[in-house]
Amino acid sequence: MAGRNRIWRPSVASVAALAFLCFAGFAPGRAAGLDPAQMSADEIKALEQRLTDAGCYKGALDGKTSSALDKAIKACPDQRPFLRIETGMHTVPISHMGVDAACSQLATASEDKTVRLWSLPDGKLQRIVRLPIGEGHAGKVFSAKLSPDGRWLAAGGSDAAWYKSGRGSLSIVDLSNGTIRRLGSFESSINQIAFSPNGQRVAVGLFGTYGLRVLDVMTGAELLADRDYGDGVYGLAFSPDGGLITSSYDGQVRRYGPDLYLAVRRAAPDGKLPAGVAIDPSGRRVAIGYGYDSSVSILDATTLVQLAKAETDDLKGALANVAWSHDGGTLVAGSNARDQSRGYYFLRRFDPNGLRLGADILGGFTTIRDIQPCGAGFVFTAGDFDLLSAEGVVTILQSPRTADMRDKVGSAFTVSGDASSVRFGLGVGGWMPVMFDVAASSITESPGLPPDLALAKVDGLPVTDWRNNTEPKLNGTKLSRFQYGRSLALAIRPDSSGFVLGADFSVCAFDAKGNQLWNHSGPGQAWGVNFSADGEVVAVAYRDGTVRWQRWSDGAELLALFVEPQSRKWVAWTPSGYYMASAGGEDLIGWHVNRGWEQEADFFPASQFRAEYNRPDIVRLVLQTRDEAEAVRQANRATARAVEAKPVGAALPPVVSIISPSDGSRFSSDLVEIAYSLRSPSGLPIDRLEALADGQKVPLTGFEKTNSREGKVVATLPRKDTQLSLIAYSGDLTSAPASVKLAYYGPRSLSEK
């Protein structure tokens, strides 16, 4: 088997189960979580400004409650700031990828609610697309694809709009100018997306029995709606002639002609759950992978009659994802089939007739989620994303920057009696163990288990079948209210009066009789759970690399911790955003603030709120008080702070962007005209604009005090290649810099020659 150097990777949950839970049990139209009656006039005015900018509010910016404001809150995306982790890489595994035809750009989708654009073949981050999000699963992105020419990005999943209206849409981003349009109106989450070869059509496969849609990219017109599906659509591919082939967990493979009429429907020949679909460049063959089955079928792309079955009889596990090389000579498949002796998941290559080609390619320690043709080879994702050359050589482009929280049971996840110290592995299970001490504000290596830290109690109540099982039991009877995927971890209260289960999509609390007390939907799978000595605090190890402390009485979150494994930088924060951090750690979190449905969200790093929210004193108190508001009161009293921090939503800094010159532009004079746009999400006047050249302030003329507008200024730049930055100010609020790199080609002064 061909090898590669690896460290570790996070696990991947079933998208099917997640998609179900995203919509099952939630009633659309629930409250947005904002109550103007509980807000100050400054907060209301800032909210009115954001809703106006989003196109939802037409009333006066007067800081007063009104029916118009209430209607705008219901119509717009949730305007509450959401605190998110930002490492420069996805915080949970990539769901799907999209590559342009030139293999120069890659789009990655993730359940961390972001889409990221990367340059190829170097794998450098170019842009983060933040679409509207909400609480829980709202806004998780399951699929993202690029049009062949790279102009259009299509993204979708658990659309935040569904949680308000009961209907979701596909987001289309024009990467040439950043505009966003929402196409379609769907009853369910989006599982799969595919562009036609000419980029004029986009197909959407939905979860459940809602079937297939094909939309016109430019007009949004619905060209095809086939709802005659018995289960979700898990594979989509356009053929070179514009036809379309789909697979569904109803067991069927379907072909639609270029006219989009259903031409052929057949049962998949080698399994009940056909998944991945890939059509070879000639349009003559289609490969089908399967969920929970190692088979790979090769069918005639016109008749869907089987031509061959790939050589996979020696495998256990699935090869659900399939892709053809651009020359049609190689078929690659992979998913959760793996080398049992070494624990690696792998890719297998075949010729067009299904005969095995060469050794299997080591893919990593977690499921391979997607494979796409790229140049002469392929790009694939298994937690990270990598290039596979035609010769079978793997190049790692990006690796995870989160702790791998899988299997945090037993000694792999222990806590002190007061829950202020927690020990866990940064790798799978107990691998690379560290201990975080809230009181000492420190993280240290912890090769041995300290005697004052306790393992989760798993005896004292007859709870069984709780490890990687969908049917945990109490007294031999299935817990009737458990509907959250697999149970992954168990902790029983020290007095045996109840227990918690960490599961695929929740943490669930039960009393000793099996009655559910609460269910808390966290940021992903809960791979470890443990109690404080008095049973009043639950520590949880989550899939996104965080440890979160939750209150036993109601499941409310008290504190969260994130550690970047590579640097050991860390940050701990309360639900309102008060934080303490190691040097550089505050840059690991920030606030996502939605705008309109067809606008990219803003993101403000925590460092922009340092003056009021960098509060280690509050963070250290919150596990003692078990109430954030009380911790704030005690900390402020101890430091004689008379006024609490202004809510983040009322203190958002200005946002500046450079319209021109564009990045990479050339200039020949020391006077450079800059076209800019400004916004003030808080509604405060923007009273100052600064220009910097390579970080040094330079003269700037032409700026006038404003609230929100576009304008032009002139900066005096040094006669050399320069990074130009603009920074906007609203009183004490400072924007993040907007920067472009400029190349100088004019005459130089004598001192510069």
Largest CA distance in the chain: 88
What average pLDDT does range 158-187 have in this prediction? 96
Give the model's pLDDT for residue 110. Answer: 95
**pLDDT category of residue 17 using cuts at 50, 70 and 90:** very low
How many C-beta atoms lie closer than 10 Å to residue 357's C-beta? 14
Asked if 580 and 597 count as a contact pair (C-beta separation under 8 A), the reply is: no
Chain position carrying tokens 């997640």: 18
Asked if 204 and 216 count as a contact pair (C-beta separation under 8 A), the reply is: no
Query: Pairing relation of β-strands 321-324 and 738-744?
Result: unpaired
Give CA 410 to chain center in angstroms: 29
Give the model's pLDDT for residue 22. Answer: 42
**pLDDT category of residue 366 using cuts at 50, 70 and 90:** confident
pLDDT over 50 at 130, yes or no: yes
- Cα–Cα–Cα angle for 313, 292, 406, rounded to 5 degrees: 115
Give the model's pLDDT for residue 708. Answer: 67
Going from the C-alpha of 28 to that of each of 19, 33, 165, 412, 484, the distances in angstroms are: 15, 14, 5, 39, 20
Phi-psi region of 175 (alpha: psi -120 to 50; beta: other; left: phi over 0): alpha
Give the model's pLDDT for residue 751. Answer: 56
As a whole-number percent, the residues of the chain with pLDDT over 90 amount to 87
Up-side HSE of residue 315: CA atoms within 13 Å toward CB?
Answer: 25
pLDDT in tens, 217-251: 999 999 999 999 999 999 999 999 999 999 999 99
Residues 6 or more apart in contact with residue 94 via CB below 8 angstroms: 108, 109, 110, 369, 370, 381, 383, 384, 385
Cis upstream peptide for 121 (omega within 30°): yes
What average pLDDT does range 463-490 have in this prediction? 92
**pLDDT category of residue 364 using cuts at 50, 70 and 90:** confident
Give CA 459 to chain center in angstroms: 36
Nearest to 318 by CA among 387, 253, 386, 271: 271
Give the model's pLDDT for residue 338. Answer: 83
Give the model's pLDDT for residue 470. Answer: 93
Give the model's pLDDT for residue 33. Answer: 74
**Alpha-helical segments (H) within 302-349:** none
Going from the C-alpha of 685 to that of each of 573, 657, 688, 700, 732, the distances in angstroms are: 30, 17, 9, 19, 11
Give the model's pLDDT for residue 384. Answer: 87
Asked if 184 and 222 count as a contact pair (C-beta separation under 8 A), the reply is: yes
pLDDT in tens, 89-100: 999 989 999 999
Average pLDDT, the chain: 93
Give the model's pLDDT for residue 30. Answer: 39
Asked if 244 and 230 count as a contact pair (C-beta separation under 8 A), the reply is: no
State the Cα–Cα distance between residues 479 and 470, nearest whole angstrom. Answer: 10
pLDDT over 80 at 436, yes or no: yes
What residues does 279 pair with on adjacent strands? 286
Asked if 58 and 49 count as a contact pair (C-beta separation under 8 A), the reply is: no
What average pLDDT does range 508-524 have in this prediction? 94
Q: At what angle do helices 67-75 and 41-53 cross, to 10 degrees?
A: 50
Which range (205-219, 323-337, 582-596, 697-711) has the least confidence? 697-711
Nearest to 131 by CA among 598, 752, 561, 624: 598
pLDDT in tens, 293-308: 999 999 999 999 999 9
pLDDT over 60 at 750, yes or no: no
State the Cα–Cα distance between residues 583 and 396, nearest whole angstrom. Answer: 28
Residue 162: both structure tokens together: 């569904």
DSSP, residue by residue, 59-83: S--SS---HHHHHHHHHSPP-S-EE
